[in-house]
Structure 1
């Protein structure tokens, strides 16, 4: 009985050492982003580099490729948070523009259909359309994060809800658990950033 329980635990909590390091750095990255810390970007670069290897082994090819894009977007976001504001000042939390919502919606639909079809026809990818949808949603959320748009957290909440069962199904148990934590952190990040946005909006602009 004890041996069976031990086998169940090691299977459920398993994962390779590489995956666990990716999990820990991934958690740190999202926590730092929720706290509006610039250090979320270099931490994200490390975590995404590790997940390129992890997702490739799990045959989640869209998510593997997504990590490469995340590395590039993290470099971009790092610069934007420092100098992307008015007169090259630091960015502040703002709301997503209507044109951004339209562009994001169309982009997610086109990417999901097109890349999902490609994966289904040309690879042995698991769950090609779900994989593509979460990839597209993550790209949209990451773009909004680089621009410090408040609603990036709402997209992360949606994506994380889908990722948890997908990753569990693929037996990436530590990463599935990480995305459950991401979900809670996304809610926390939304609350914190909304508070910051309201405080910024209530601050009077000094006269020139």
Structure 2
């Protein structure tokens, strides 16, 4: 059983295995902080995404690597966005998407698909079905990260869909540890959605009582 799940790591440089485990640790920690609506989601996420961007580039997974570079940039933006306050109150609390943001999400999704296709064509990387799934995942996660940085509840829906696709994808690619990570991500994301929904409903009820 052990060989079935982890035999692919026999040919890996040992430092890459350690880096993957460190990235997984900080990635899980980051998602847990996100579930709790805690600002530490971003510094822990920065460490995980930086390592993954390097590893995935080494493994020639360009779409996945670009996702993590984007995560890194958006984590910096999200960190700033979440810390903005009006007095003692968060300027951008948990909220739902507006019509304008729904339109922007569609635009980001479509542009990401086009961009990743062009990158894969340029580097001649459409060599397996993985590449086509990577294109979809990149778009899902780009929108999910943008919505998380803006503190929108719907970000969890994109994470859940993307995580569910990633579990078998990474296992098929031979990255068992990362596949298990996405399984845990999926579970946390479901609870994250429920918890953010509860926080949002509580804030709405509080506002109604104050009227």
**TM class, shorter-length:** 0.7 to 0.9
Deviation at 1:37, TM superposition (A): 0.8
TM-score by length of 2: 0.86
Query: Could you list the per-position Cα deviations for residues 88-115 of structure 1 after superposition, in whole angstroms to 9, with x for gaps in the alignment?
Result: 9423110011121122123212321442
Classify 1:8/1:133 alpha carbon distance in 2 versus 1 (closer, same or farther; 3 Å): closer
**What is the aligned partner in structure 2 of residue 175 from structure 1?**
178
Give the superposition deviation at 1:203: 0.6
Determine if the alignment matches structure 1 residue 160 to structure 2 residue 163.
yes
Give the deviation of 1:55 after TM superposition.
1.0
| Secondary structure at 2:93 match in 1 | coil
Q: Report what 2:154 is aligned to.
A: 151
Check conservation: 2:63, 2:134, Cα contact below 8 A. Answer: yes
Q: Could you list the per-position Cα deviations for residues 164-200 of structure 1 after superposition, in whole angstroms to 9, with x for gaps in the alignment?
A: 1111111111001101111111100000000000000
Q: Is the 8 A contact 1:82 1:89 kept in 2?
A: no
15-24 or 109-118: bigger deviation: 109-118
User: Which runs of 5 or more structure 1 residues have no equivalent in the other structure?
Assistant: none
In structure 2, the residue matched to 1:184 is 187
Residue equivalent to 1:20:
21
Distance 1:6 1:174, change over 3 A: closer
The answer to whether the Cα contact below 8 Å between 1:116 and 1:131 also exists between their aligned partners in 2 is: no
Residues 110 and 24 from structure 1, CA distance in 2 versus in 1: closer, same or farther, beyond 3 angstroms? same
| TM-score, scaled to structure 1 | 0.87
Aligned residue-pair number: 202
Find the partner of 2:140 among 130, 137, 141: 137
**Residues 91-130 of structure 1: pairs in structure 2 closer than 5 A:** 91-124=92-125, 127-130=130-133
Runs of 4+ in 1 over 6 A off after TM superposition: 12-15
Q: Superposition RMSD on alpha carbons, in Å?
A: 2.3
Deviations for 1:124-150, whole angstroms, at most 9, x for unmatched residues?
365333212211111111111111101
